[in-house]
Structure formats: structure tokens, C-alpha cells
Amino acid sequence: MNQPDQGDKSYAGKTVVVTGASAGIGRATAELFGRRGARVALIARGEDGLRGAADSVDYLGGTALALPVDVADFEAVDQAAERAESELGPIDVWVNVAFTSVFAPFTKITPAEFRRVTEVSYLGYVHGTMAALRRMVPRDRGTIVQVGSALGYRSIPLQSAYCGAKHAVNGFTESVRTELMHDRSNVRITIVQMPAVNTPQFSWVLSRLPRKPQPVPPIYQPEVAAEGVVFAAGHPNRKEYWVGGSTVATILAQKLAAPLLDRYLAKTGYDSQQTGERADPGRQGNLWQPVDEPLGSDHGAHGTFDERSRDHSGHLAAAETAETAGSAVARGFDAVRNTVKASGHDAEEGGSPPHDQGAAS
């Protein structure tokens, strides 16, 4: 576990909700918000994973509230939001991360399994966004961050349900964003598109592959993803952020040469998503039940690919620098504009003396 940070407490006194907070990107994001001093409501199904996440957030300097919830159930999500506000205060940031998937060819996925992935990985984001907006819109403040994926732009084989859900997240988020802009709302919504990340999902997602699943290299550590989420939460005016050079390359290649990528992935997409090891016959999947429920089953943020994972994203760092500089320039421009307006207003008031003074002179 990382050590507490006595420096940056930029989220002290703020309430943040993170779905999928028991492991992976959600866990790393919750921990980073805790390190920044936030009050963090943790939403996930696995109670042992939630306990571990809550302990980490508290240890790192935040305040944790564990809420065992299946995001596919809107009423449960809405009640969790109500409890978060009751115990922690008005929600400032809501982060949607929770997902599940099936690693298999489309023809080997049942209708019930496909529906379940959609209910969690797409409708879970819809439910979280609805619950957040119910509370943020009347106050006219708050930020929603969607954790997306490069696969929301460029689908790959063996993940049809997940890719479909990520495309849907992009579509509905774009629609909601434009509605908020139309209403001139101060509520913001943004999305962070992720690369392959070293999370426990590759050990617990339902798989029908002959060999063990793996993320398609290059692989990034979940803390890199979390840094992107927390930065986006603090700079939500941008429509979306891309984490990792591979995300940039994937999205741009899809825009420029999608048919070529189809042929490339048809040849390489199966092998690149599997290790050389045979799959475990008794492997558990988390599609229907969490695998981090019983005591001792907390997986933490990381998967099993630490030795192959990168702990830094040069593209994210560049984006952060550009966004921070851009924000500073914008603030400076606003300050100058307000000064000019104020000077003009003073000139209008002081430039022509009142008629009674003019008559007396």
C-alpha cells in the first residue's frame, strides 16, 4: 500500500463517489482521491474488496464509506447516492468505473450473459449518471467522470459485449454533455479513454478462451489510469482525455484506417489477448457473483502483470501540462476581460458629471 501524502489535499472536504471501487482502476482512483483528502463513497459488489478499499482510503488520509451495491440496479444506486450525501455531504464528483465482461467469441456468449454485461458495463454508467444528476443539477454544480476505453472507439475480437457497452457509454455521454451545455448548466461531464491496464479483471472475468486472458500490450498500471481520472475531475471542461500512447494510436488509426485494422485484428486479435498458459479448468468468473466477497479474497488494484506494466504515461503528462497551462491562460484572459469591463463601467459613471453639478459650476 502507498504511504499517506501530507502534501496535496486538494479534495479535502469534498465528497466523491466511485463505482467499481473494490479493485482495478476504481480501487486506484478511490485511493488517490483519499490521498487528496476526499470523503469517498465506494460502490461495488464484493464486500471484502470494499473493506480493503475503505481501509486504504482511510489510511491514505481520506474518509471512506463502503456501499455494497450492484450498479445494474438503479434503485440501489440511487439509495447509495442518498446515503453518501447523508453521511459524507453533497456529492462533488461521481466516477463511473464498474464493469464486467465475457472473453469469448460472440457465438459462444449466451443472450443472458450479453445482457448482464450490458446492464453492468453500460446501464451501470447510465444509472450512476442519473443518480448524480438528480443531485447535481438542482445545485448547479458537480462533475461526472466516465472511465472509457480505447475499445469504445475500436472494437476487438473476443470482447463484443464489453466493446458494445463502451461504444454506448461514449454515445450517451456525448448526448448528456450537449444537453447540459444547452441548459447552460455548471454541471460538467467528461470521459477518460483508457489503454490496457493491469487489473484483476483478467483473472476473474468469465472466459471461454483456451488460454489465460491478458491485456493487449502495452500495459499500464492502474495508478496511471487513476491519475488521469483525478486530473479530469479537476479539469472537466474538456470533452475527453486519452491516457497512454496506445490509446492515442488506436483512436487515430481507427479514424484513418478502420478497414485495415479489421484485417489486422482478425489475424492478431486472438493470440494477443491470451498468454501461453492453458486456462484453469476451475476458474471462477464474476459475471453473476463477485469473486472478492468472502474474507481473504481482496485483490487490490493490481492484476498479475506487474512486471510487464508501465507506471507512467508520457501522453497523459503532456495533456495535463497543456490543460493546466490552458486553464491558466484562460483565467488570465478572464481577469483581463473583467478588468477592462470594470474600467469601462467606471468610465461611464465618472466620464460625464451629473447634470446638477454641471449647472452649479
- Residues with a known catalytic role: 162
Calpha distance 123→212 (Å, rounded): 28
Residue 22 sits at φ, ψ, to 5 deg, of: -85, -15
Residue 101 sits at φ, ψ, to 5 deg, of: -160, 175
Which residues is 143 bridged to in the sheet? 93, 188
DSSP summary character for residue 36: T
Cell of 337: 476581460
Cell of 134: 438528480
3 state DSSP class of 81: helix
Calpha distance 68→350 (Å, rounded): 63
Q: Is 333 exposed, middle or buried (0-12, 13-18, 19+ CB in 10 A)?
A: exposed
Which residues is 242 bridged to in the sheet? 193
Q: Is residue 134 a contact partner of residue 91, using CB atoms and an 8 Å limit? A: no
Amino acid at the residue 80 = A
Cell of 265: 485484428
3 state DSSP class of 151: helix
| Among the listed residues 272, 15, 20, 301, the one whose alpha carbon sits nearest the alpha carbon of residue 158 | 272
Cis status, amide bond into 218, omega within 30 of 0: yes
